Structures are given as C-alpha cells and as structure tokens.
Amino acid sequence: MSTISREEVARLAGLARIDLTEPELNRLAGELDVIVESVARVSEVATSDVPATSHPLPLTNVFREDVVEAALPVEDALAGAPSAEGGRFAVPQILEED
C-alpha cells in the first residue's frame, strides 16, 4: 500500500513552486514511499534501551585548545610583504573608483 500518493507529491511540489512533469510525479511518489517505508522499518527496530547516535564511530576533537596569545607585531607581519603603507599591506588597485 502506498503511503505517499501522486496527488500529495503534486501538492507539495506546487507549494514549493517546483514544476514537475507527470513522469516525475509518478517516480517521486514511488521513491518517497520507499523512504517512508525504510524509516518505518528503522523505527520498529529502535528501542528505548538503544541510545541515539549521530555517528557510528566515536568522535574526538582533534583541534588544539583555544589559548589567547600575544598578537604578532605589525612589523613582523609586514616583513615579508612586497609593499606596505601606513602599517598595512599595499596591493594594486583592481577596481575603478566611482
């Protein structure tokens, strides 16, 4: 028995302003029905004694601790720049000014 009808798909497509052809409506009704059946099957297996997971493997944070440190002095930051002006990087203008 189909739980998602072709008419429901057409209504939802209309609400979303998606123009679907007749073959697309029929195909999507079948595909969405398979998805709904799959979710129902998983729901049958899921029990309250099985904890919900977002990932099948345990994840750990691989980033370093966020530690506040002193800022890089402007002179050191600009030391390797091809051109600097007023304590800032100087770059060629690429847009015309209005």
The domains of the chain, with CATH numbers, are: 6-45 (1.10.20)
**pLDDT at residue 2 greater than cutoff 70:** no
Mean pLDDT, rounded, for 31-55: 84
pTM, rounded to two decimals: 0.45
3-class secondary structure, 15? helix
| pLDDT tens digits along 58-69 | 888 888 888 999
Write out the two tokens for 2: 């189909």
Residue 3: the pLDDT is: 81
- Mean pLDDT is lowest, of 5-14, 45-54, 77-86, for 45-54
Question: CA–CA separation, 24 vs 13, rounded Å?
Answer: 11
